Amino acid sequence: MNKSLSGIGMTSQRTRARLIERLREQGIKDETVLAAMFEVPRHLFVDEALASRAYDDVSLPINFNQTISQPYIVARMLEVLRGGGPLDRVLEIGTGCGYQAAVLAQVAREVFTLERIQPLYERARKQLRELKIRNVAVRYADGSLGLPDAGLFDGIILAAAAPSLSAVLREQLAVGGRMVVPVGAQEQWLYLVERDAAGFRETRLEPVKFVPLLIGKA
């Protein structure tokens, strides 16, 4: 864990501990994920006017019609992504404000995160640098294409809803890898895609609500 993340500003241990207890009550069991959620100061990733709500279990606006996902959804997706095991190289699509990337940095050896909206990319990169998180590479890119030049990933996670399960992203999974992706337009579901030597296996998990995955840089 990165010790520079703890005890900053208004994030008292008690406030964060209450959030972790709520996540446990909602069914999150992965203690590695819960420890990572406790470690990262969520209020630093939202506008100052919303800081008092940073540890509520709600999504919050971060400008440009984007949101920071509610803590339960972040924890749930990371728990599914880990599948009870360690993560080596992870690709995140939709950096947003950088909060989920900061949590991923606590549970994965190396994180690549892509953001298509330039002001959000710059903000996230600055925030992660200020928190001295050194195992996250932030790139300004069209996330719908993934990051084929970086090789294969043992985890891929999307912070926006894809219209369908992407074959392009699927092919960037290593054998043994897992991809967690919201899929759909009006009705969205969270899917787990697993790759093994025989091919791909898809599992529909639960209904979710995300902003749509858009194509191209903005």
Nearest residue to 116 (alpha-carbon basis) of 155, 85, 91, 144: 144
Instruction: Name the catalytic one among 4, 12, 69, 164.
Output: 69
The torsion defined by the Cα of 34, 85, 93 and 110, in degrees rounded to 10, comes to: 100
Q: How far is CA 163 from the centre of its chain?
A: 19
Q: Could you tell me the two tokens for 149?
A: 């030049």
Residues 6+ apart with CB under 8 A from 191: 165, 180, 181, 182, 183, 202, 203, 204, 205
Q: Can you tell me the distance from the alpha carbon of 85 to that of 82, in angstroms, rounded to the nearest whole number?
A: 5
Nearest residue to 5 (alpha-carbon basis) of 97, 120, 134, 115: 134
Backbone dihedral angles phi then psi of residue 4, each to the nearest 5 degrees = -70, -10
Q: Can you tell me the distance from the alpha carbon of 61 to that of 200, in angstroms, rounded to the nearest whole number?
A: 35
Tell me if residue 69 is catalytic.
yes
Residues with a known catalytic role: 69
